[in-house]
Structure 1
Amino acid sequence: MRTTLTSLRSLEIHDCPELESFPEGGLPRKLETLEITSCGKLVETLKQRCEKDKGEDWPKIAHIPNKYIL
């Protein structure tokens, strides 16, 4: 995975109704906290895509210890 945010530890995404998925290469490996809130009805879609061991995006976020999709 090639990324330019190699030192990023926390990522908060708020009020982004167009968000549908994460980058193909995944998220930075050092990311410790991912919080997604107030992203409209897409939050439910993201919850499904990020479901542990089942969701399409789970492999992209599995390494992040603290994940909040509200």
Structure 2
Amino acid sequence: MLDEIRKQGAQAASQGHSLLECPFFRLDQLPAHSKVPVHAWRVKVEAWEAGWRAFQETRRTPSDTQH
């Protein structure tokens, strides 16, 4: 399940979506509304963000990392 969520995060990044567009931030997905335990929700958020960030890392060029 977490691998699929990571893939979704990477796909969102590839389509130009912002990190803040994580679907788990939608009102109906927040723990208070979905009744999902906070820990389980956070694991999903972190998996989505990991996929999003991994895609972003593949887009960086060597000059992006030089200061």
Provide the TM-score with structure 2 as the length reference: 0.33
User: Which one has a larger percent helix, Structure 1 or Structure 2?
Assistant: 2
Highest CA radius of gyration, 1 or 2? 2
Provide the TM-score with structure 1 as the length reference: 0.32
